[in-house]
Amino acid sequence: MYRAASALLLMLFLLPDCSDLSQYDRDTINKALADSLIGVTESQDVTIDIIIDGMLKVRAESPFARTVEETFSTYTRLIGPPVFVTVFDSTGGIQTRVRSNEMVYWSQDTVFEFEGDVLVETHTDRRLMTEQLEWNESTRKIFSPGFVIITSPSDSITGYGLRGDDDLIRYTLTRVTGQFSID
């Protein structure tokens, strides 16, 4: 990739004052140059706000962040510990809080990936503890491939392979252990 971009730049310098490049040639050169570019931004003491229709929906806070812009994707890695994420409801009240050691936010897909000592606390006093959690903000679904502990005021349940809604009311586990009550 680097050689191709260098060769194209060399061709440009060898053809001074030649404006006879076709649009196809210009597009090919621009594509080769764009494919070789990557942008990285690093910041400290970061607060990221996601605002939809004028309402604050998600706030993420971290001591350090690295945003990587590639040709087909952009992501931001928040590095703690701790990383804090607060999810707000339609009235501006706190719906959920998440704490983890690291988080990656994929902006095109609105997907958050939490890693290391993940703790989720909902407004309904439900808690989730795990080491890895994926949250799709658009669909409001969560997924954790490993071991999870879910507690509520009345029971607790442990298991593996969590899939469910982000309110921690409707979910499935592939292998269940622990104590729970059925209403």
Residue 176, pLDDT score: 86
pLDDT value for 155: 85
Instruction: Give the HSE-up count for residue 148: Cα atoms under 13 Å, Cβ half-sphere.
Output: 30
Which pLDDT belongs to residue 24? Answer: 77
Question: Phi and psi for 4 in degrees, rounded to 5?
Answer: -65, -45
Identify the sign of the CA torsion 60, 65, 69, 70: negative
**How much is the pLDDT for 5?**
40
Q: Residue 177 has what pLDDT? A: 76
Query: According to the model, what pLDDT value does residue 121 have?
Result: 95
Cis, peptide link before residue 82, omega less than 30° from 0 = yes
Token readout for 158 is: 């442990």
pLDDT at 74: 86
Task: Compute the distance between CA of residue 58 and CA of residue 29 in angstroms, rounded to an integer.
Answer: 40
Residue the block writes with tokens 């621009």: 30
Query: 94-130 burial string, b = 16+ CB within 10 Å, else e?
Result: ebbebbbbbbbbbeeebbbbbbbbbbbbbeeebebbb
Instruction: Please state whether beta strands 141-151 and 94-106 pair in parallel, antiparallel, or not at all (unpaired).
Output: unpaired
First and final CA of the chain: distance in angstroms?
60
| pLDDT tens series, the chain, 183 aa | 444 444 433 344 444 444 566 777 776 666 655 555 578 888 899 999 998 888 999 999 999 999 888 777 888 999 988 999 999 988 889 999 999 999 999 988 889 999 999 999 999 999 999 999 999 998 999 999 999 999 988 888 999 999 999 888 899 998 887 655 555
